[in-house]
Structure 1
Amino acid sequence: MVSRNIESTSKVPTFHVIREVYDSSNAHERFEAELDKALEAKLDFIVIEPPRLGDETGRWIWVGNCLHKTAVATGVVSLVASLLWRDRPIIAAPACALSIFCTGLYTVSWNYDPCCQYQVENNDTVLEKLPLTDVSSPVILGYSPNSKTKYLHRSVSLLSAALCAWQIWRSYNRFVHSAGSG
């Protein structure tokens, strides 16, 4: 959910409505091009009328959010497991691997997509303030800069990977030294 308060800003929120008008055989491509232009313009709100485009965009954002949250959660689990069970990297390693995988996938697929800076807006207070009188069942995207959250999940993943690698290295050294002296 976007934490945007329209009243707290002095400027009028910018928005664009992608109308569901099928005037040619390639209307869906036109809708996508219109969405791309609106995303690149970083408008405050984008209202998507065509249901197929709205559903696809909403799912794309949902999957990106899921990857981000999974990366952070598994990174934190890996960090906690590394701190609780210092001599057992096997407990933290799977969570760390999943965190690194999700972070990598997010970075490759979502990081440079302007759509990742939007969230599906569900806040009724915000929606009531938008001029949506002649719009039929839209999906509304609200601009929400995400550079801090991207740095958070990258930092958590890298920190958990570093701690996990250190634990594995330490365990390996203990194993080698105990095998050599026995």
Structure 2
Amino acid sequence: MIITAGGGAASPMSPSYCYIVHEIYNGENAQDQFEYELEQALEAQYKYIVIEPTRIGDETARWITVGNCLHKTAVLSGAACLLTPLSLPVEYTRYVALPAGALSVACAALYGISWQFDPCCKYQVEYDSQKLSRLPLHTLTSSTPVVLVRRDDIHRKRLHNTIALAALAYCAKKIYELYVV
């Protein structure tokens, strides 16, 4: 059950569960107002955030896409680093495993520095029309809003950090073996 700001109970799809950044231009600082509203909604941790202004919606969707790309790249390149020794002859593994491991560590580090503490990283863009149909999108003036859904990202952060650390350990061991021994 969700408690609204007034203290009453709210159903999962009530307006208190979903925040809409409306595209209403009230002066020359409208874009700043849209950004402020979005920031407040992200920090309030609404389950759904609907962004009506096209520019801010597109920027937010791109930001989330870049974060997702960094996460996936860290996981896949780290897995490639760790699985390469199992599939390639020993003399060729360093040519694949070391660059893949370095890419994994770099992507995980960049994600950790740029995205980890951003409240937007807790959200994903919602495309499921069945879930979207339960939201109050009929009240919008825009035909192409961006809808964000809050998701727990602790497991994905643990996954890419664990794989990146394992890839870093493997790379450090291989570099030590190649250049010190």
Q: TM-score, normalised by structure 1?
A: 0.85
Could you say which residue in structure 1 is the equivalent of 2:47?
Answer: 44
- Give percent identity, aligned residues only: 45
Could you say which residue in structure 2 is the equivalent of 1:153?
Answer: 160
Unaligned runs of 5+ in 2: 1-9
- Of 110, 119, 142, the residue aligned with 2:124 is 119
Instruction: After TM superposition, list the pairs within 5 Å mapping 1:1-182 onto structure 2.
Output: 11-13=11-13, 14-84=17-87, 85-86=89-90, 88-135=93-140, 136=142, 137-173=144-180, 176=181
- Give the 3-state SS of the residue equivalent to 1:47 in structure 2: strand
C-alpha distance after superposition, 1:97-138 (max 9, x if no partner) = 111111111111100000011000000110011111121221
Question: Highest Rg: 1 or 2?
Answer: 1
Instruction: Say if 1:82 and 1:164, in contact at 8 Å, map to a contact too.
Output: no
Instruction: Say if 1:86 and 1:167, in contact at 8 Å, map to a contact too.
Output: no
Higher relative contact order (CA 8 A, sep 6+): 1
Aligned residues: 165
Q: Give the AA of the match of 2:59.
A: E
Instruction: Write the distance in 1 (CA, Å) between the matches of 2:121 and 2:131.
Output: 20
- Deviation of 1:172 after TM superposition, in Å, equals 3.4
- Deviation of 1:160 after TM superposition, in Å, equals 1.0
Q: TM-score, normalised by structure 2?
A: 0.86
- Aligned CA-pair RMSD: 1.6
- Give the 3-state SS of the residue equivalent to 2:148 in structure 1: strand
Instruction: Write the distance in 2 (CA, Å) between the matches of 1:61 and 1:170.
Output: 39
Instruction: Say if 1:70 and 1:102, in contact at 8 Å, map to a contact too.
Output: yes
Instruction: Write the distance in 2 (CA, Å) between the matches of 1:59 and 1:91.
Output: 30
- Deviation of 1:86 after TM superposition, in Å, equals 4.4
